[in-house]
Amino acid sequence: MEDVNCFMEKAVIPTETALEVFLGDKLKLWKSIQQFVLEAYPDGRAEWNFPGKKFGWSFRIKDKKRAIIYMLPRIGFLKVAFVFGQKATESVMESDVSEHIKIELRNAVPFVEGRGISLDVLDDLALVDIKKLIHIKLKH
């Protein structure tokens, strides 16, 4: 599994067909996460974003001011990323999410906007923690 973005060309906005080619059967996980966020926050704005040629295209769902979740397509899997402010970080640490997530968050470099983590999404088991993190993000 290579951690390389599938969509690196700014001129080519990703399509669902292209996403399916790269994600394969993991597209159902992508859709499940997207649906969960938009059900939890119906006013969410889903959009593709190209932050630069170093990173390529990413998909994000935002509230009015900030990204709730970033979804990063890879070949055969996907990653999700979150940025947690101080209060949300404390909530994650007090929650029952998997210990490896807490370790990654604890070790993340703090920036003005918070601490960022990313998680590989390989199967349905990852969705349990991701849903908890989405709820924490929306709460704070």
User: Residue 2: pLDDT band by 50, 70, 90 thresholds?
Assistant: confident
Q: Which domain holds residue 56?
A: 16-139
pTM of the model: 0.94
Assigned domain for 25 exists:
yes
Could you tell me if residue 44 is inside a domain?
yes
- CATH number of the domain to which 59 belongs: 3.90.1150
1 is a domain residue: no
Helix (H) or strand (E) holding 73: strand 67-73
Instruction: State pLDDT tens for residues 39-81.
Output: 999 999 999 999 999 999 999 999 988 999 999 999 999 999 9
Q: Is residue 52 part of a domain?
A: yes
- 7 located within any domain: no
Tokens of 106: 């604890």
Please name the residues in contact with 22: beta carbons below 8 A apart, sequence gap of 6 or more.
Answer: 6, 73, 74, 75, 76
Q: Which residues, at least 6 apart from 38, have a Cβ–Cβ distance to it below 8 Å? A: 44, 46, 61
pLDDT at 1 exceeding the cut of 80? no
**Domain tally, the chain:** 1
Residue range 86-93: mean pLDDT, rounded: 98
Tell me if 9 is assigned to some domain.
no
pLDDT band at 98; cut points 50, 70, 90? very high
